[in-house]
């Protein structure tokens, strides 16, 4: 076989409906592992958890892109082949449809009695053909034919639907290339404000064509966070106010120029003041992370500068915060009876080792516990054995936000809208043709051809030809 | 109140199902047999695999000249009456539930399943009024309803609670409402596909398993067409539901699509039903293959409805399960 013939055959195979069906099924099957196995793009922590639980299997799966299914070469290969097949199918049909729309309906076939619908008429009819594309032709032998066709919208809708799919793909591609997102935790107060630069985020992802300098410039300061709960602790309502009056919430993002800000989570940050034995005072605002729906929260307060420059005398506290305390845990997320349980440690906090450290846990390798755990209420203080003092000053709300920009969204939205418009046209439209042949002797015949599955065609044909019975 | 009426609803569905079953077993099957005998060419058309144009030629002849419709079997009539009563009780269940909660009854999976099944029954009753010859399909529809409402009653039941803030959006109505409608339509389409598979298998001479029941069923062509209509109606609604979900997800989670397990399975169902419609439009694909694709499609919908909420931890977990 010549290479050209091979290419032609491959193309024919690729654009055949059978191949398209197989590819559709492959795509559906290929998506299943993406829901069964944890995905990096969905929840990074779950992937780490899977690696811990299956240390042998996970690396093997990882080599098969099992944790990045939707970005994997095999998933991409399926949908790219499918879209190639789609283009190969749509382009010739688009050409045919443009041609059909510009051409009048074809002339009546010679033997009309072989059409699925046929009628003999006694007189020359004047059919009511509103909405039909009609062409009347006079032939040299004296007969006149009327050709009528309608239902072009079916094919137009079908092409619109498939083109819209391509548009969605383009939009998704643009979003991946030029989009970016970043997340961080933001505590209330002007001292906690941040500006939109990558260093200020806890984590971020930039599209391949975005650089750090492309990020729009803005700063955010959380002024107020409003939340109310049902009696059983289920949240009723959230509202965050930033930059002196801009408000946003769940389902109601803050739309800034070039980025949107989404509210993802909330919790309490604890204001703790520590006064060392020499009388030097330090205050921290430490966000505590919730461990349950009632906002039982854990966190740490670290004072590396306590007791001068001696690194072995640094002070850190481990804390458990209970907004509504009852038997060592919180029973409601609102601050009805707040308690802070603190454990004090002294020693080397290990903050200067240059390693990335979580700000939510203490590295206790070189720390020594001081005394027993102590319960504090707001405003209370605790004097430790070395004469230093710790005070629980109060709490501030914090929120986690996601800042995102996806320039592909409007294109995907337009594609989705066209999909939804094209589908019904394609599924419910009915292309059909009807012809009349008027003979010079005064008799006439009519024939009809539904080009697509159309159960009601017989009735329509009977109505058009004003003839109670039809035969074939 | 709502929970008690649900028990009555399930029992009425059960009664409807048993009456349908009794109709299969003891009904005057003469009526069905006569109806089938009257249209022998259609039975063959359903069994054999002609191209669509030929088949169109077939029914163009047959339809206008059909005799008055075959009278539904008496027991079948009672079964439909039970279904109507069940639908009324079902409606009362859903309405009282939403009155107790003070909102639309779509706040958790229990309520969603009850809504889907209610819409499914209403669609089915509409179908049976329009195409009486499909009355025998009721056995499958009521069987599915007994199972789904039963699962809702026993497994999914959650106390009345308010809507969590994440669901407090008008997209909630649009997204969940259209998802429920399309699920209900797919459900009826699935039941019709199963019936078609049994009937056409019987016509082809298969006698194992469920196939002997095929002889009591309405003709293959009719149910196959019904199945296609349901799917052709459901698919654009489903597409809209997914698109509306994506618009909502953009506002709620910051991205219109993120391969959350629910999203992934919605995508899988969409692909499978797209394959169904393509297969149905392709003359070379056998109608039985097409019907099997519809069955697979419904399994993916069930996986999305139950499996995803029970097995996976995703963003679509609200109100208990």
Between A337 and B162, whose confidence is greater? A337
Query: Could you give the CA distance from residue A124 to residue A108 in angstroms, rounded to a whole number?
Result: 16
Q: Measured between beta carbons, which residues in chain A are less than 8 angstroms from residue B236?
A: 420, 423-424, 427
**Mean pLDDT over residues B244-254, rounded?**
90
Residues 6+ apart with CB under 8 A from B64: A458, A459, A462, A469, A470
Q: What is the pTM of this model?
A: 0.83
Q: How far is the alpha carbon of A401 from chain B, nearest alpha carbon, in Å?
A: 10
**CA neighbor of B200 nearest in space, from B31, B51, B37, B43:** B43
Residues in chain B: 321
Q: Measured between beta carbons, which residues in chain B are less than 8 angstroms from residue A81?
A: none
Inter-chain CB proximity B258 and A249 less than 8 Å? no
Inter-chain CB proximity A423 and B236 less than 8 Å? yes
CA angle B46, B49, B52 (to 5 degrees): 85
CA angle A325, A331, A332 (to 5 degrees): 100
Q: Which of the listed residues B41, B62, B83 is the one where a domain comes to its end?
A: B62
Query: Could you give the CA distance from residue A301 to residue A351 in angstroms, rounded to a whole number?
Result: 13
Residue B48 is predicted with a pLDDT of 37
**Mean pLDDT over residues B288-306, rounded?**
94
Inter-chain CB proximity B235 and A427 less than 8 Å? yes
Name the closest residue on chain B to residue A230, using Cα atoms.
B162
Contact A335, A228 (CB under 8 A): no
Query: Could you give the CA distance from residue A352 to residue A395 in angstroms, rounded to a whole number?
Result: 28
Between B52 and A275, whose confidence is greater? A275
Query: Could you give the CA distance from residue A383 to residue A276 in angstroms, rounded to a whole number?
Result: 10
Residue A148 is predicted with a pLDDT of 94
Residue A261 is predicted with a pLDDT of 95
CA angle A386, A392, A394 (to 5 degrees): 165
Contact A443, A436 (CB under 8 A): no
Residue B173 is predicted with a pLDDT of 81
Secondary structure of chain A in the HEC alphabet?
CCHHHHHHHHHHHHCCHHHHHHHHHHHHHHHHHHHHCCCCCCCHHHHHHHHHHCCCHHHHHHHCCCCCHHHCHHHHHHHHHHHHHHHHHHHHHHHHHHHHHHCCCCCCCCCHHHCCEEEEECCCCCCCCCCCEEEEEECCCCCEEEEEEECHHHHHHHHHHHHHHHHHHHHHHHHHHHCEEEEEEEECCHHHCEECCHHHCCEEEECCCCCHHHCCCCEECEEEEEEEECCCCCEEEEEEEECCCEEEECCECEEECCEEEEEEEEEEEEEEEEECCCCCEEEEEEECEECCCCCCEEEEEEECCCCCCCHHHEEEEEEEEECEEECCEECCCCCCECEEEEEEEEECCCCCCCCCCCCCCCCHHHEEEEEEEEEECCCCEEECCCCCEEEEEEEEEEEEEEEEECCCHHHHHHHHHHHHHHHHHHHHCCCEEEEEEECCCCCEEEEEEECCCCCCHHHHHHHHCCCCCCEC
pLDDT tens, position by position, B207-239: 888 888 777 777 888 889 999 999 999 999 999
Distances (CA, A) of B317 to A33, A67, A247, B308: 20, 22, 26, 9
Query: Could you give the CA distance from residue A29 to residue B20 in angstroms, rounded to a whole number?
Result: 36
Does B138 fall in a domain?
yes
Task: Please check whether residues B137 and B43 belong to one and the same domain.
Answer: no
Task: Please check whether residues B49 and B112 belong to one and the same domain.
Answer: no
Query: Could you give the CA distance from residue A447 to residue A470 in angstroms, rounded to a whole number?
Result: 10
For residue B61, name the pLDDT band (cuts at 50, 70, 90).
Answer: very low
Task: Please check whether residues B120 and B185 belong to one and the same domain.
Answer: yes
Residue B193 is predicted with a pLDDT of 94
Residue A353 is predicted with a pLDDT of 62
Q: Measured between beta carbons, which residues in chain B are less than 8 angstroms from residue A70?
A: 259
Q: What is the ipTM of this complex?
A: 0.86
Does B321 fall in a domain?
no
Q: Measured between beta carbons, which residues in chain B are less than 8 angstroms from residue A180?
A: none
Q: What is the mean pLDDT of chain B?
A: 80
Does B141 fall in a domain?
yes
**Mean pLDDT over residues B283-296, rounded?**
94
Does B320 fall in a domain?
no
Task: Please check whether residues B33 and B181 belong to one and the same domain.
Answer: no
B41 torsion bin: left (phi>0), alpha (psi -120 to 50), beta (else):
alpha
Contact A105, A147 (CB under 8 A): yes
Inter-chain CB proximity B64 and A462 less than 8 Å? yes
Name the closest residue on chain A to residue B269, using Cα atoms.
A28
Does B283 fall in a domain?
yes
pLDDT tens, position by position, B124-136: 999 888 888 788 8
Residue B26 is predicted with a pLDDT of 67
Q: How far is the alpha carbon of B241 from chain A, nearest alpha carbon, in Å?
A: 10
Query: Could you give the CA distance from residue A180 to residue A203 in angstroms, rounded to a whole number?
Result: 11
Q: How far is the alpha carbon of A425 from chain B, nearest alpha carbon, in Å?
A: 10
Task: Please check whether residues B103 and B39 belong to one and the same domain.
Answer: no
Per-residue pLDDT of chain A (472 residues; tens, 9 = 90+): 688 899 998 888 888 888 999 999 999 999 999 999 999 888 888 899 999 999 999 999 999 999 999 999 999 999 999 999 999 999 999 999 999 999 999 999 999 999 999 999 888 888 888 889 999 999 999 999 999 999 999 999 999 999 999 999 999 999 999 999 999 999 999 999 999 999 999 889 999 999 999 999 999 999 999 999 988 888 888 899 999 889 999 889 999 999 999 998 899 999 999 998 888 999 999 999 999 889 999 999 999 888 877 778 889 999 999 999 988 889 999 999 999 999 999 988 877 665 556 778 888 888 889 888 999 999 999 999 888 999 999 999 999 999 999 999 999 999 999 999 999 999 988 999 999 999 999 899 999 999 887 888 988 898 888 744 444 4
Task: Please check whether residues B209 and B296 belong to one and the same domain.
Answer: yes
Q: Which of the listed residues B62, B82, B112 is the one where a domain comes to its end?
A: B62
Residue A357 is predicted with a pLDDT of 62
Does B307 fall in a domain?
yes
Residue B71 is predicted with a pLDDT of 46
Task: Please check whether residues B75 and B58 belong to one and the same domain.
Answer: no
Residue B241 scores a pLDDT above 50: yes
For residue B55, name the pLDDT band (cuts at 50, 70, 90).
Answer: very low
Distances (CA, A) of B206 to B44, B176, B200, B211, B287: 15, 41, 9, 6, 16
Residue B57 is predicted with a pLDDT of 35
Task: Please check whether residues B41 and B184 belong to one and the same domain.
Answer: no
Select from A34, A181, A427 the Cβ nearest to the Cβ of B232.
Answer: A427
* Number of domains present in the structure of chain B: 2
Does B165 fall in a domain?
yes
Strand duo A222-229 + A203-206: pairing: unpaired
Q: What is the DSSP letter of B134?
A: G
Query: Could you give the CA distance from residue B266 to residue A65 in angstroms, rounded to a whole number?
Result: 22
Task: Please check whether residues B32 and B121 belong to one and the same domain.
Answer: no
Residue A375 is predicted with a pLDDT of 94
**CA neighbor of A168 nearest in space, from A83, A71, A251:** A83
For residue B163, name the pLDDT band (cuts at 50, 70, 90).
Answer: low
Does B161 fall in a domain?
yes
3-class secondary-structure state, position B206: coil
| A interface test, pick of B172, B249, B259, B287 with most A CB neighbours within 10 Å | B259
Q: How far is the alpha carbon of A182 from chain B, nearest alpha carbon, in Å?
A: 11
| B interface test, pick of A16, A18, A19, A28 with most B CB neighbours within 10 Å | A28
Domain that residue B55 falls in: 28-62
Task: Please check whether residues B130 and B149 belong to one and the same domain.
Answer: yes
Select from B57, B285, B313 the Cβ nearest to the Cβ of A116.
Answer: B57
pLDDT tens, position by position, B64-113: 334 444 444 578 888 899 999 999 999 999 998 888 887 887 878 888 88
Task: Please check whether residues B266 and B288 belong to one and the same domain.
Answer: yes
Task: Please check whether residues B211 and B274 belong to one and the same domain.
Answer: yes
Q: Measured between beta carbons, which residues in chain B are less than 8 angstroms from residue A407?
A: none
Q: Kindly provide the b/e burial profile for residues A96-112, where b requires at least 16 CB atoms within 10 angstroms of the residue's own CB.
A: ebeebeeeebeebeeeb
Q: Measured between beta carbons, which residues in chain B are less than 8 angstroms from residue A172?
A: 257
């Amino acid at each position: 076989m010549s290479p050209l013939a091979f290419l032609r055959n491959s193309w024919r195979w690729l654009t055949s409906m059978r191949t398209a069906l197989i590819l559709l099924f492959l795509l559906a099957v290929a998506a299943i592992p993406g829901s069964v196995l944890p995905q990096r793009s969905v929840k990074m922590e779950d992937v780490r958890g899977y690696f811990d639980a299956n240390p042998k299997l996970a690396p093997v799966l990882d080599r098969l892109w099992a944790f990045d299914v939707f970005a994997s070469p095999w998933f991409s290969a399926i949908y790219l082949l499918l879209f190639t097949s789609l283009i190969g199918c749509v382009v010739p049909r688009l050409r045919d449809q443009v041609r059909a729309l510009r051409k009048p309906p074809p002339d009546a076939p010679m033997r009309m009695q072989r059409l699925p619908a046929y009628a003999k008429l006694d007189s020359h009819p004047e059919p009511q053909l509103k909405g039909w594309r009609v062409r009347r032709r006079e032939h040299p032998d004296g007969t006149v034919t009327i050709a009528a066709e309608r239902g072009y919208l079916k094919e137009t809708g079908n092409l619109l639907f498939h083109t819209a799919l391509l548009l969605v793909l383009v939009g998704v591609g643009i979003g991946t290339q030029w989009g970016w997102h970043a997340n961080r935790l933001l505590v209330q107060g002007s001292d906690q404000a941040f500006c939109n630069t990558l260093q200020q985020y806890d984590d971020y992802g930039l599209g391949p064509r975005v650089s750090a300098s492309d990020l729009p410039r803005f700063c955010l300061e959380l002024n107020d966070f409003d939340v109310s709960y049902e009696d059983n602790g289920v949240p009723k309502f959230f509202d965050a106010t930033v930059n002196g009056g801009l408000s946003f919430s769940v389902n109601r993002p803050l739309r800034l120029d070039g980025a949107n800000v989404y509210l993802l989570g909330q919790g309490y940050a604890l204001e703790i003041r520590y006064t060392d034995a020499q009388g030097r005072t330090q205050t921290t605002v430490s966000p505590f992370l919730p461990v349950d729906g009632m906002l039982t929260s854990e966190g740490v307060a670290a004072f590396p500068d306590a007791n001068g420059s001696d690194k072995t005398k640094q002070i850190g506290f481990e804390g458990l915060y209970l907004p509504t305390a009852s038997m060592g845990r919180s029973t409601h997320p609102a601050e009805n009876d707040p308690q802070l349980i603190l454990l004090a440690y002294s020693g080397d906090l290990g903050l200067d080792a240059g390693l990335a450290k979580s700000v939510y846990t203490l590295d206790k390798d070189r720390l020594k516990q001081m005394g027993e755990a102590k319960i504090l209420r707001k405003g209370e203080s605790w004097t430790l054995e070395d004469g230093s003092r710790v005070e629980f000053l109060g709490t501030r709300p914090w929120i986690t936000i996601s800042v995102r920009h996806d320039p592909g969204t409007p294109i995907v939205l337009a594609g989705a809208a066209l999909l939804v418009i094209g589908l019904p046209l394609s599924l419910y439209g009915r292309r059909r043709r009807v012809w009349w042949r008027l003979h010079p002797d005064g008799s006439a015949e009519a024939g009809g051809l539904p080009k697509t599955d159309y159960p009601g065609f017989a009735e329509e044909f009977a109505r058009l030809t004003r003839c109670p019975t039809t035969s074939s | 109140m709502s929970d008690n009426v649900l028990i009555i609803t399930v029992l009425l569905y059960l009664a409807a199902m048993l009456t349908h079953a009794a109709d299969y077993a003891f009904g005057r099957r003469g009526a069905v047999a006569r109806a089938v005998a009257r249209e022998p060419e259609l039975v063959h058309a359903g069994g054999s695999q002609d191209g669509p144009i030929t088949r169109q030629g077939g029914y163009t002849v047959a339809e206008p000249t059909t005799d008055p419709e075959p009278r539904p079997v008496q027991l079948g009539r009672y079964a439909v009456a039970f279904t109507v009563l069940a639908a009324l009780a079902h409606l009362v269940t859903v309405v009282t539930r939403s009155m107790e909660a003070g909102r639309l009854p779509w706040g958790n999976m229990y309520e969603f399943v009850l809504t889907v099944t209610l819409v499914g029954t209403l669609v089915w009753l509409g179908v049976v009024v329009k195409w009486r010859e499909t009355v025998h399909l009721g056995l499958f529809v009521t069987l599915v309803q007994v199972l789904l409402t039963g699962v809702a009653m026993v497994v999914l039941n959650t106390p009345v609670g308010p809507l969590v803030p994440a669901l407090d959006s008008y997209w909630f109505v649009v997204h969940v409402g259209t998802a429920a409608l399309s699920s209900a339509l797919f459900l009826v389409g699935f039941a019709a596909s199963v019936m078609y598979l049994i009937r056409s298998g019987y016509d082809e001479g298969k006698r194992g398993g469920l196939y002997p029941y095929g002889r009591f069923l309405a003709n293959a062509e009719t149910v196959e067409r019904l199945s296609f209509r349901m799917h052709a109606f459901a698919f654009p609604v489903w597409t809209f539901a997914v698109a509306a979900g994506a618009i909502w997800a953009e506002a709620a989670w910051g991205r219109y699509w993120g391969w959350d397990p629910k999203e992934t399975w919605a995508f899988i169902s969409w692909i499978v039903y797209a394959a169904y419609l393509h297969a149905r439009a392709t003359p070379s694909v056998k109608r039985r293959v097409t019907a099997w694709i519809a069955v697979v499609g419904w399994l993916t919908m069930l996986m999305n409805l139950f499996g995803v909420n029970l097995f996976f931890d995703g963003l679509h977990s609200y109100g208990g399960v």
